Amino acid sequence: MSLQTEDKYVIKNNKKLRRGYTTGSCAAAAAKGAAMMLLGGDSVETVDLMTPRGIPLKLSLENIRREGDRASCGVVKDGGDDPDATHGLLICAQVSKSAQPGIHIDGGQGVGRVTVPGLDQPPGAAAINHVPREMIVREVQGICRQYGYEGGIQVLVTVPSGVETAKKTFNPRLGIEGGISILGTTGIVEPMSEQALVKSIEVEMNVRIAQGGQALLVTPGNYGEAFLKEHMSLPFEKNMKCSNYIGETIDLAVEKGVQGILFVGHIGKLIKVAGGIMNTHSHCADSRCEIMAANALRAGISREGALAILQTKTTDEALDILDSEQVLEPTMERIADKIQFYLEHRSYSQIELGAVFFSSARGYLGETRNARELMKKI
């Protein structure tokens, strides 16, 4: 990839991280290269692409083939320094002439197919989002004008390793079957992008809403998901993940008119919410033992017990201290009240919010006052 020096890197957490480019950019570049070979007859090894972000790319073409009335090639996805399951995948496009006017785009091997409403594309369509589709159309139309071709063009996007890679993505949870999605709104991958993570939460939320879910069941991570599946009589298939972004998830739900959310999470995550911390990533904030100790003092723990909690490294250690001083249950009740307060504070009480929390060692620990009502709605 060729980028200007000022565009190639970003600084995150005092680290210099390399940008990449999206599967949408790869598909558009591959389609452009294949169209150039089909209509111009020349061999092409690189193509220039202007991304929606305004950052130009020069991308190398792989697997170049021209057979009769069709041509194909691919571009290797480069996610930069972002931990991306699609990094290194070959994204291919086959271009052929069509009797039907216009540019027609579909997905083949390794490109997922949408099976539920609420996503960027309707059920039955290839999981190629609207911005990549627009990029493909723009690039192919430009080549058609360059060579004076006025007929129709069929573009088939394929990803040879897409079926296996899709198992590592959110696609199975979202109702996208058979491969990966061709994504990207800017054409550029921002390394460690919070915006991209929150966008993935929004996509999953849209699916749940489209399926009729007005009260959402949300788990911050794998522990919450496992507890939900093994210990709660709620429809597991309706749950969605929010990672560390509890606040952003509430904001999205308010914006979309959702009636309520029940969070099911490990005490190690939700104890932070009891202190008003709405991004539970350890890099943003911790204070687990401080919040636990403060609520334990309200519940009657001894000064020595509170000091011992302040020295703990895990919430399970703190729970053992609470239990030894026989204040576990009243402390959990106070933590539940605080979680409820800060959830409502984030939403300005515009939607109904609640939580159930647990620990890996002790199981169920407590719930907020309206958790049972939300369970009925879910």
Mean pLDDT in residue range 198-204: 92
The model's pTM = 0.75
Give the separation between CA 372 and CA 339, rounded to whole angstroms: 15
Select the more confidently predicted residue: 102 or 170: 102
Residue 221 pLDDT grade (very low, low, confident, very high; cuts 50, 70, 90): confident
Q: What is the pLDDT of residue 2?
A: 52
Instruction: Give Cβ neighbours of residue 332 (< 8 Å, ≥ 6 apart).
Output: 357, 365, 366
Give the separation between CA 346 and CA 85, rounded to whole angstroms: 33
> 227: exposed, middle or buried (C-beta count within 10 Å: 0-12, 13-18, 19+)?
buried
Mean pLDDT in residue range 338-363: 96
Mean pLDDT in residue range 204-232: 92
Residue type, 166: A
Q: How far is CA 255 from the centre of its chain?
A: 18
- Kindly report which listed range (102-116, 151-165, 197-211, 289-303) carries the lowest average pLDDT score: 197-211
Give the separation between CA 30 and CA 35, rounded to whole angstroms: 9
217 contacts 378 by C-beta, under 8 angstroms: yes
Nearest to 287 by CA among 338, 327, 323, 359: 338
Using one digit for the tens of pLDDT, what is the confidence trace for 145-190?
Answer: 999 999 999 999 999 999 999 998 889 888 899 999 999 999 999 8
Q: What is the pLDDT of residue 274?
A: 98
Mean pLDDT in residue range 293-305: 98
Mean pLDDT in residue range 230-251: 94
Give the separation between CA 344 and CA 338, rounded to whole angstroms: 10
The answer on pLDDT for 141 being more than 90 is: yes
φ, ψ (nearest 5 deg) of residue 347: -90, 0
Nearest to 12 by CA among 275, 196, 182: 196
Q: What is the pLDDT of residue 192?
A: 66
Nearest to 127 by CA among 187, 79, 171: 171
Select the more confidently predicted residue: 1 or 195: 195
Residue 276 pLDDT grade (very low, low, confident, very high; cuts 50, 70, 90): very high
Using one digit for the tens of pLDDT, what is the confidence trace for 38-92?
Answer: 999 888 999 999 999 999 999 999 999 998 889 999 999 999 887 788 999 999 9
Nearest to 74 by CA among 85, 84, 64: 64
Residue 5 pLDDT grade (very low, low, confident, very high; cuts 50, 70, 90): very low
The answer on pLDDT for 193 being more than 80 is: no
- Name the average pLDDT for the chain: 93
Using one digit for the tens of pLDDT, what is the confidence trace for 16-35?
Answer: 778 899 999 999 999 999 99
